Amino acid sequence: MFKTKIVTILLFIAFGLSGQTIDAEIKALEKQIEQLSLQQEVLREKVETAKLSRIHQDLEAVGLPSENYIRHSALFLEYAEAYEQAKWVAHILTPDVIKGTAHRSNDFREDPLVKTGTAVEADYFLKYLQKDSTFKYDGFGFDRGHLAPSADFRWSKKALSESYFYSNMSPQRPEFNRESWAELEGTIRGYMQDHPTTQLYIVTGPVLKEGLPTIERSINKVAIPEMYFKVVLDLKAGKAIGFLMPNQKITYPLISFAKTIDEVEALTGLNFFNKIANEAEIESTLDKAHWLPDVVKGDVEPIYPPSLPAGHFNTVQAKQHAKANKEITVCGTVVSTRYSRSGNLWFNLDKKFPNQIFSFYISKKDLSNFSGNPEAEFAGKVVAVKGKVRPADEAVIMQLVREEHIALYERGSL
């Protein structure tokens, strides 16, 4: 019995010592992991710093609109004190944006590098502290619209945070900032998904001119631009595109606002990408299909309204008449056709399904009223169709009953 107790005690001591040894080993390994994590963080910061330095180098290499600009970590800008916003903001959209994980910081603040001072929170809204310790916001009717979008910097918390300087803000109408402007920014980021080895040089800004109105209750009298520009360069592909968009709710597709760089320069008086080779060729050429996925899919730009005769409307304008209950004539390009299960023949003008904005159809029973094959006759053609339009989800539709209600349209022929 005595021997058994001694053996038990010795085994307990042995196992206790073994357990202590294992615990020490675990702590040592955890310490190594912690040290490796710290080393990784230091290396990540060094990589980010190197990437930001490269952005500075590359931005200056393509040529900026002026030499009087402020350098931030990932964006450059020239501030227009008289309008309390940037004249232009330049940045680079890199492939890192595809895997970036940083999210909106919403840390709006003054830009410390603008010596004359920038706009402030009180230029866009007033904030009141209520009795229940919550805040009430009294907005002045405008969004603090990013010029260089924060989502373009989601690979760097530092760069993303700096995109919230008020020097990068401009008063945009909510229906513009949250819809068409956001769509443009998303379309440009989407370009990177199909071109993951390139980088895009982007310059954005308001179209500034004397006499612009200001935000009424703005303490610094921030000017309200009527229009914004954005120019984008893929130096690797030798392609560039510009956009000019009005600061208002927009019903036309992005393609309607695509311009050559030369056209944007003519309006703004700025000289973009002035150090690149083949500048004249790149800036005078516009390849919409290269940049806009909808064009690749076969969508076309709605007909320019002033070119239409009286009483004729393009596909975007047709929506405005959806509740009028009267006949109108709508002109556009047949970009797709199909037969429904019920045998009706459908035509989409300017934009294909599922993004259609205007469709017309001939019911199965009315097809006999049309000579020949309407589908073959009008596919891919510019037509003028007459009838009553009615709403259908986001689009409008028209039913054609007689052959004389559709005709080929040539500018100046009607």
Residues 341, 338: Cα–Cα separation, whole Å: 10
Cα distance between the two ends of the chain: 118
CATH 1.10.260.40 for domain 305-408, yes or no, is no
Chain centroid to CA 363: how far? Answer: 39
* Per-residue confidence (pLDDT) for residue 343, from 0 to 100: 94
Domains 63-296 and 305-408 share a fold: no
CATH fold for domain 63-296: Extracellular Endonuclease; Chain A (3.40.570)
Q: How much of the chain, in percent, has pLDDT values that exceed 90?
A: 73
Chain centroid to CA 369: how far? Answer: 46
* Per-residue confidence (pLDDT) for residue 119, from 0 to 100: 97
| Confidence class for position 5, pLDDT limits 50, 70, 90 | low
H and E: helices and strands count for the chain: 10, 18
Average pLDDT over residues 201-230: 97
Single pTM value for the model: 0.81
User: Cβ(403)–Cβ(371) under 8 Å?
Assistant: yes
Residues 171, 143: Cα–Cα separation, whole Å: 6
Strands of 59-181, DSSP E: 70-71, 75-80, 85-93, 125-129, 135-139, 143-146, 169-172
Distances (CA, A) of 405 to 104, 329, 377: 52, 9, 14
| Confidence class for position 149, pLDDT limits 50, 70, 90 | very high
Chain centroid to CA 237: how far? Answer: 21
Backbone angles phi, psi at 117, to 5 degrees: 90, 150
Query: Which of 4-18, 190-204, 257-271 has the weakest average pLDDT?
Result: 4-18
Domain spans of the chain, in order of start:
63-296, 305-408
At residue 77, does pLDDT exceed 70? yes
For residue 243, how many other CB atoms are within 10 A of its CB? 23
* Per-residue confidence (pLDDT) for residue 329, from 0 to 100: 96
* Per-residue confidence (pLDDT) for residue 107, from 0 to 100: 95
User: Cβ(332)–Cβ(302) under 8 Å?
Assistant: yes
User: Cβ(106)–Cβ(160) under 8 Å?
Assistant: no
